Amino acid sequence: MKSDKKIAVIGGGSWATAIVKILCNNVKSVNWWMRNEASVRHILKYQRNPNYLQAVEFDLDKINVSTNLIEMIEPADIVILATPSAFLVETFEKFPVELLENKIVFSAVKGIVPEFHAIPARFIHKTFRTPYNKIGIICGPCHAEEVALERLSYLTIACQEDHIAEEMADLMACRYIKTTTSDDLFGTELSAVLKNVYAIAAGICSGLGYGDNFQAVLISSAIQEIENFIDEVSPIHRDVKSSAYLGDLLVTSYSKFSRNRSFGYMIGKGYSVKTAQLEMDMIAEGYYAVKSVVEINKRFEVEMPIVNAVYNILYEKISPVIEMRILTEKLS
């Protein structure tokens, strides 16, 4: 039995495309907002996103796709934000935020809002006046590309209200998606932000020629940094060895589909930041996240040598060779 719940997905990239694909298994229809009018026309004609996950074919009886943000959001019970974090402020700049006040808002944004150095949950709360108990996050470990291939994947759905998390988990579960729930809204979201930074670090090291042995030390140190940071920012009981934390870190740091790892790899190979960004033609969320995490950590003063190394390479323009050599002396 398909749900009558009205859902709007905001974003036109690979993750938004994957979410729409998943939801079509369990709901009668999905409102899908995309920025690009040409992409909307292409989907309406060919049933495929022309720019992302072109193998996914959509049943147009199940989706209503448009560039009109108000028309897509106004009738929705649940709004899922799946735009790159760097575009969130721009997307909602002229939007009448009162239309979102009584809605449940989930973030599938895998980054930090750079204008405010804020995780998406805080941005949603401040901008839309949505109470935290009606805000949720959809996180991995899960790559959109494997969803498109219908390979078994796992999602963690976090919300402070258990029944909201469970409802969304049911809507996202299907033959190739297994879901679990969590009440750790801030921890899961901060971890999802940080893992992109560590994936860049893993890519840089790979580009420099470091092997699997060092990568193991790097990632085991990274999960300790994540734990220390999120425990300081949001001190509740959590197990960072679970899939929402460690699992998401591992897949983002090692997968061939990881854009953050790919971005880091190019930096390690000698590309400039600008050249790497142009070469990828996709958003590496960790690039924006590391600057914001360093800014946030000025308040908490958690020791984060890997984060600092990535920041020094990307923003202080210190040689990756030198910075990673210094980092190797700090890890154990």
Greatest Cα pair distance in the chain: 58
Tally of CB atoms within 10 A around 330: 12
Is residue 2 among the annotated active site residues?
no
Q: Which of 110, 134, 195, 291 is catalytic?
A: 195
Please check whether residue 160 is in contact with residue 183, taking contact to mean a CB–CB distance below 8 angstroms: yes
* Distance in angstroms (rounded) separating the CA atoms of residues 309 and 325: 10
Active-site annotation, residues = 195
